[in-house]
Amino acid sequence: MTKQELIEVVAQETGISKKETGETLEAVVNNIKLAVKNGEKVTLVGFGSFEQKLNAARTGINPATKEKIQIKASTSAKFKVGKGFKEYLN
C-alpha cells in the first residue's frame, strides 16, 4: 500500500477530506521522525515503537576489491512490532 492509497482509505473511513487526511498523516510522520532524531522513543501501544539506533564504526570489506575499509559510525531508525500487532498477524 502506498502513502496515497493509505490516505484514500483513511479519508473514506473517517469522512475527512483527502487533503486534510494527507496533512494529518504528514504531521504524524514528521513528528515521529523529529522525536526519533532527538533520541526519543515513540510508542504506539498495540502497533509498535520507533527509536534511534546507533551503529558503531567498524571495519568492512569491499566486495569488489576484497580490501578492508573503515565504515563510519552512523545513526539509523529501528521499529519494533508491538504485541497487539504481532498477535493480529498471527
Average pLDDT of the segment spanning 3-13: 97
Which CATH number belongs to the domain containing residue 15 in this structure?
Answer: 4.10.520.10
CA distances from 72 to 7, 28, 33, 54, 57 (A): 37, 31, 22, 11, 5
Quote the pLDDT of residue 47: 96
Domain that holds residue 47: 3-89
C-alpha cell at 9: 482509505
Look at the pTM and tell me if it is higher than 0.85: no
User: Could you give the CA distance from residue 23 to residue 31 in angstroms, rounded to a whole number?
Assistant: 12
- State residue 35's pLDDT score: 97
Rounded Cα gap, residues 72 and 84, in angstroms: 36
Query: Total domain count for the chain?
Result: 1
27-83 pLDDT, tens digit per residue, is 999 999 999 999 999 999 999 999 999 999 999 999 999 999 999 999 999 999 999
pLDDT at res. 89: 95
